[in-house]
Amino acid sequence: MLRPKVPTNPLPTGRGIPPVVVEPTTVVQHPAIPAPTPIAPAPTRPTVQLTPGAVIALVGGGTAVVLVVGAVLVSMLLAVAITAASLAICALVIRSLITADTKRH
């Protein structure tokens, strides 16, 4: 069922269709189409006007985002530092246990 079937070609067919001769055609020129009239530009969107209250809200929101992202990054750095320190202490304890065991014999 899953075996591929290779097509067989008992007799080579060669070129089945004789080459076609391409004959040049005449080019018919149509009268020039006048240029379209320019379209009036769409009305521009109104600009955003920031009130003093909106500016204060944006600054406060930006500050809050920076503080939250900073706290997350600092906590991740602290977690990595604590993990590295605990691994270093474990390595020292294991090394001292191994060396103390070999000195007793």
HSE, side-chain direction, 13 A CA sphere, residue 15:
4
What pLDDT does 34 receive? 73
CA angle 10, 15, 19 (to 5 degrees): 170
User: What distance in Å separates the CA atoms of residue 93 and residue 87, rounded to the nearest whole number?
Assistant: 10
Q: What does the chain come to in residues?
A: 105
The pair of structure tokens assigned to 5 is: 């079937």
- The reply to whether the predicted model has a pTM over 0.75 is no
Span 10-32, pLDDT tens digits: 666 666 666 677 777 777 777 77
Mean pLDDT (the chain) is 84
